[in-house]
Structure 1
Amino acid sequence: MSTADGIRSRRSRRARPCGASPVVRVSRDGAKPKSKSKAKSKKADASEKAPKVRDSQGTPVSVTFLGGLGEIGRNCACIEVEGKILLLDCGLMFPDLDMLGIDLVLPDFTYLRENADRIIGCIATHGHEDHTGGLSFLLRELEFPIYGSALTLGLARNRIEEAGLLDRTEFIPVVDGERRMIGPFDVEFIPVTHSVPHGIATAFHTPQGVILHTGDFKLDLTPVDGRLTDLARIGAIASTEGIRLLLSDSTNAEEHGHAASETSVGAVLYDLFHRYEGRRIITTCFASHIHRVQQIADAAISFDRVIATMGMSMKKNVRMAREMGLLNIPESRLMDIADVGDLPPEKVCVISTGSQGEPMSALALMAANENRWLTLSGTDVVIMSSHPIPGNETDVSKVIDGLVRAGAEVVHSGISDVHASGHAKAEDLKMFLSITRPEHFIPVHGEYRHLVAHAKLARTMGVAASKIIVCTDGDQVTLDDTGLRPTAQVPSGYLYVDGIIGDVGSGVLRDRRVLAEEGVVVVIVGVDIEHGTTMIGPEIITRGWVHAPEAEELLDQCADQVREAIAELFRNGRSDIENVQRVVRRAAGRFVNEKTKRRPMIVPVVMEA
């Protein structure tokens, strides 16, 4: 256990299975759960409520973190009360550069499989893939309802439908300020502002007091849709019941100051459309960033342009958001991408997918001159209204370079304020801590350095160091009458997704790295086990180690070494195919390493002649 300024820290010990903590069932003193009809409004007068007196022998509550702590993505946690489990998000993560051939990374679902009969649902805090993208994989094995705002459920539904799981999945919409019972969980849904509309924080009113999970949030005083983070309701809970445990977004904890308002991007976009009046403008952003799409559309309409969407997810999300009334673009201003080629460039605005440099996205294909709808010209302007997710920087840079090579002028977040983060920065987080005044605190959602930075902010705002725990994936903590403490470790490794293959395992990745970095040497030999002689070969075939036409002598020497090793094995007595394979691998590997200081993959192919 390491410490940072006296803050307790749990470093994950991966893949050591452990059961859930024992659950003690006790009386709630006859208190009746509130019905839906009596659910409190988010604007309820907190002064009319007496502060809640917590049962001195309350049922313990456990929180288990399966992803999102120590990384950007894979956000997944579960809260446990009275033997039941409620999931908080189930997201995916984009692969790192060394994860060769991997499309997605998911949380380890082992703990959920082992406790499948106790899972009663999942709360999706918002619609981003790093919080909902894993649901379509988990739902292939387990069945449970999903709770979330209408837009969040709509975005999650798209992937679940693609997986063919729509018929077996129940979607239960919730609204701002709603408070409902989900099994033994008394849950209140509180609106928060984020880069995707209709994000929610969740307040769990438990026997151990209120546990507040912020989800991803920012404190934007001028959001595009006017929907503010409900600090009034959060403050009311803090001043009456108190916040026993706060789990808060840490993504921007290292960044000083306040997060910029989303509307500030709208002004920048307007100026860019004015500057490039007379030229075709192609924009890109996250397909789920409905507010950004709205501001791009507003700027385009201001300069009398039509709007065409490009990319399947962008088309789907724009259509869904318009149907829900979350996106205001007149029908007369929308045009199919196939028809924009007939219009003057100054009349066109394209909103495309590909802001993260995804190789097969519409923008990446455009950069490679392989887009079936658009071919870039020397007068085109591309506005990348986003910022690379950690791990995607190289892909984004390649796309920008390709766009410039094709003749386009590219405006991106590195040279213009065309993006505003959806996460609270340090001063916002300090303000939030001053409002919530939590007894216990766990920073969530971020790389390990972000979690530690957030923990330090909590210290400066008066949270005792002994009541702050910096957790990582796999940690389970329990809140009971004595306080908050670590209680267990659960499996928390990476689940790699490779196309339709699914989980390929870490061994496959290790082999791919060796093949990519060192190459492969295949040794083919035929032996007569009964008489102890080599009948065929050894023949050496290599790829990625040395160039065969220029290294015949080296390959001949390797074959001689292998032949001698096999002969020595036979001289020492009768053997079998497995022993010959071992000797071939060892002899070839030793020779290759001695001669070239390389360690390619050695593949012995031993046949009995």
Structure 2
Amino acid sequence: MSEPVSVTFLGGLGDIGRNCAAIEIGRKIMLLDCGLMFPEADMLGIDLVLPDFSWLIERKDDIVGCIVTHGHEDHHGALAFALRELSFPIIGSALSLGFAANRIDEAGLMDRTEMIVVKDNERRKFGPFDCEFIPVTHSVPHGFATAFHTPQGTILHTGDWKLDLTPVDGRLTDLGVMGAIAQNEGVRLLLGDSTNADQHGHSRSEKSVGKVLEDLIAANKGRRIITACFASHVHRVQQIADAAIANGRVIATLGMSMKKNVRLAKEMGLLTIPDNKLLDIEDVKDLDPGTVCIISTGSQGEPMSALAKMAANESRWITLNDKDTVILSSHPIPGNETNVSNVINSMARIGVRVVHSGLHDVHATGHAKAEEIKTLISVIRPEFMIPVHGEYRHMQAHAELARTMGVKDSNVLICEDGDRIKITDKGIKKDGSVPANYLYVDGIVGDVGHGVIRDRQVLAEEGVVVVIVTVDHDSCEIITGPEVITRGWIYADEAEELLDEMRNLIAEAVMLSLEKGDHDSETLQRVVRKKAGKFVSDRTKRRPMIVPVVMSL
């Protein structure tokens, strides 16, 4: 009887981001990505969202390493936080590790890890984990699918991928290697990227964007061009640079991550821009606007990004005007649509000519669509399949594609964050769960819980009412108050009669409680909260946060 293998999902199932899973063989753990998620609109004041590390902290001595499938922050951005509590090597392509190291180095945690570079089609052992790294095409170079050759057969994790037959760097998704694994030993379990599973057809080639960009830059002759894309999208940066240079322009980068990533990609030979065409942002201020192309961060409308600062006229380097053309060479990640729309509107008010993916084909997705997924499944022919990396509807669509391609209905499992599955000689089944809550980052990691988020939502939607009263327990009298302070419920200057009525009712309730012998502050606070809450609800049909403050002499 072969040794069982477990897979635990810590993030990325039901969300776009926070991707993290753990493969377990013989009590040893190999992490598969450790990513972050950007906050949704209702996560007020939150900077980032991380996986729940509590289960990993309990098992910290069992962690052999973490494989980073590619260089996007939703797959490696949480490492800089995990390494505060844990210590393990990080495994991936040189570019992926370079991107991950930026955040880790900023956090001063490089001494808690070791960077292990692996190459295309390399097969390496790390403890009990026999891993094969298979090239896949994505919107960031040098991504991997990972084949785990285990006692329970091969587990193949696709990473983020697409079938781009004409990639900018010529590096194709290696279906041949995947097919050989399927032919020779078979794929016991497929863990597949679900992001675009509900979209019909094939994804466009990244190379097709280059021609669109060149035509747009040519059509905006004499105007300053500012393009925005992900700092990790090296191929997009290359195509923007090529299009700009072909039209007689020089390049400047804006945004710290863009500057760092361009430097790293050039050093690794993955980005080719002549030195005399790549200038510092300070050096393009006095040039003819028609000879300049700026490549900026902020394509997702992030509030503190370089593009957002430009739109708000707060940039140190660039002041936008009606002679500028801004090209958003991206598509909004789900949840970022409002931020992107706000930035576009702000630039439009200035008179900027804004080009986005709704007007021209200035973006190509990095994720496989339905026909590509069906092609992959036909090559791999997995016995079992679990959709990963996507919202629930994406995973459900992916599961249906697997069934269409012949995977037995009983062999397709839809899991959620926290689920553990066990693979044995008899098959695959769910095997309990582990904590997988959101870990919110607001300044210092871990200081914000679900309760704080709920409180912030109430404050934002309904406001707050603070009732302050001072009592003398010995004489059973109210010394001062009740004083009512309100923010976001009603405007006090315009509702004095309502507040007077509220004060009188609360005073009566407090006096009645004192006369009954309820002298402790906690009891009196409950009385104040109940009376104030009922009054506010009855009179205004609102439910602000009620904060009772009872002081005693």
Return the TM-score normalized by structure 2: 0.99
The equivalences for 1:100-119 within 5 A come to: 100-119=44-63
Q: Say which SS state the counterpart of residue 342 (structure 1) adopts.
A: coil
Does the aligned pair in 2 maintain the 1:147–1:153 contact within 8 Å? Answer: yes
Give the TM-score taking structure 1 as reference length: 0.90
Indicate which of 81, 94, 111 corresponds to 2:38. Answer: 94
Return the offset for 1:274.
1.4
| CA deviation string 1:538-559 (max 9, x = no partner) | 1111111111111111111111
Residue aligned with 1:469, SS: coil
**Matched positions, count:** 553
**CA, structure 1 residues 486+574, in 2 after alignment: closer, same or farther (shift >3 Å)?**
closer
| 2:480 alignment partner AA | I
1:193 CA displacement: 0.5
Ranges of 4+ aligned residues in structure 1 off by more than 6 Å = none
**Higher alpha-carbon deviation: 212-221 or 575-584:** 575-584
**Residue number among 15, 18, 42 corresponding to 1:74 in the alignment:** 18
**Separation in 2 of the partners of 1:500 and 1:107?**
15
Counterpart-to-counterpart distance in 1, 2:512 and 2:285 = 74
Match of 1:492? 436
Aligned counterpart for 1:127 among listed residues 62, 65, 71: 71
Does 2:539 correspond to 1:595?
yes
Which residue matches 2:472? 528
The match for 2:341 is: 397
1:298 corresponding residue in structure 2? 242
Matched with 1:309 is 253
Q: Which residue of 2 aligns with 1:213?
A: 157
| 1:303 to partner: Cα distance | 0.8
What is the rounded CA distance, in whole Å, between the counterparts of 1:574 and 1:522 in structure 2?
21
Equivalent residue number for residue 270 of structure 1: 214
Coordinate RMSD, CA, aligned: 0.9
In the TM superposition, residue 372 of structure 1 has moved relative to its aligned partner by: 1.4
**More off after superposition, 573-582 vs 157-166:** 573-582
> Cα 1:501–1:539, aligned 2, differ >3 Å: closer, same or farther?
farther
Are 1:191 and 1:228, in contact at CA under 8 Å, matched by a contact in 2? yes
Alignment of 1:195-594 (within 5 A): 195-500=139-444, 502-594=446-538
Write the deviation string for residues 148-204 of structure 1: whole angstroms up to 9, x where unpaired. Answer: 000000000000011110122211111111111110011111111100000001100
Provide the secondary structure at the position in 2 that maps to 1:211.
strand
Alignment-derived partner of residue 182 in structure 1: 126
Partner of 1:149: 93
Change in 2 beyond 3 A, CA 1:501/1:86: closer
2:137 pairs with one of 188, 193, 209? 193
Tell me the residue number matched to 1:60. 4
Identify which of structures 1 and 2 has the higher relative contact order when contacts are C-alpha pairs closer than 8 Å and 6+ apart. Answer: 1
**Offset at residue 501 of structure 1 (A):** 5.5
Deviations 1:496-549 (A, max 9, x none): 111236430011111111111111111111101122221111111111111111
- One-letter amino acid matched to 2:85: E
Distance 1:119 1:357 in 2: 37
Amino acid at match of 1:132: H
SS in 1 for 2:133: strand
Distance in 2, matches of 1:331 and 1:69, equals 43
Hey, what's the Cα distance between the residues in 2 that align with 1:61 and 1:352? Answer: 45
Choose which of 82, 102, 123 in structure 2 pairs with 1:158: 102
Equivalent pair of 1:527/1:534 in contact (CA under 8 Å): yes
C-alpha separation between the residues in 2 aligned to 1:456 and 1:574? 63
Distance in 2, matches of 1:81 and 1:210, equals: 13
Q: Distance in 1 between matches of 2:57 and 2:16?
A: 24
2:306 maps to amino acid: A
Structure 2: state its 5+ residue gaps. none
Q: Which amino acid aligns with 2:548?
A: P
Aligned to 2:21, the other structure's residue is in SS state: strand
3-state secondary structure, aligned to 1:257: coil
Distance across 1 between alignment mates of 2:507 and 2:383: 71
Deviation digits for residues 14-50 of structure 1, max 9, x if unmatched?
xxxxxxxxxxxxxxxxxxxxxxxxxxxxxxxxxxxxx
Identity across matched positions, percent = 68
SS in 2 for 1:102: coil
Mean Cα deviation higher: 422-431 or 575-584: 575-584
Residues 92 and 118 in structure 2, CA contact (< 8 A), matched pair in contact too? yes
* 2:518/2:524 contact within 8 Å kept: no
Q: 1:105 to 1:501 in 2, by over 3 A?
A: closer
Output the CA distance in 1 between the equivalents of 2:436 and 2:447: 14
Which secondary structure does the structure 2 equivalent of 1:58 belong to? coil
The SS at the match of 2:240 is helix
Contact 2:258 2:297 in 1 (8 A): yes
Q: Report Cα offsets for 1:76-109 as digits up to 9, x if no partner.
A: 0000001100000011111111110001111111
Q: What is the SS of the residue equivalent to 1:470? A: coil
Other structure's SS at 2:16 match = coil
The alignment partner of 2:264 has SS state of helix
Distance (whole Å) between structure 1 residues aligned to residue 322 and residue 491 of structure 2: 42
- Give, as a single letter, the amino acid of the residue that structure 1 aligns with 2:278: L
1:406: how far off? 1.2
2: CA distance between counterparts of 1:501 and 1:437? Answer: 42
Whole-angstrom distance in 2 between the partners of 1:311 and 1:210: 42
Read off the aligned partner of 1:193 and give its amino acid letter. Answer: T
1:10 equivalent in structure 2: none
Distance 1:492 1:375 in 2: 44
Q: CA deviation at 1:568?
A: 1.1
**How much has 1:454 moved relative to structure 2?**
0.5
3-state secondary structure, aligned to 1:354 = coil
1:574 and 1:408 map into 2 onto residues whose CA distance is: 66
Q: Distance in 1 between matches of 2:247 and 2:21?
A: 46
Once the two structures are TM-superposed, the CA of residue 114 in structure 1 deviates from its matched residue by: 1.5
Report the Cα offset of residue 574 of structure 1. 4.4
User: Which amino acid in 2 is paired with 1:59?
Assistant: E
What is the rounded CA distance, in whole Å, between the counterparts of 1:530 and 1:223 in structure 2? 82
Measure, in 2, the Cα distance between the counterparts of 1:398 and 1:195: 25
1:529–1:574: 8 Å Cα contact kept in structure 2? no
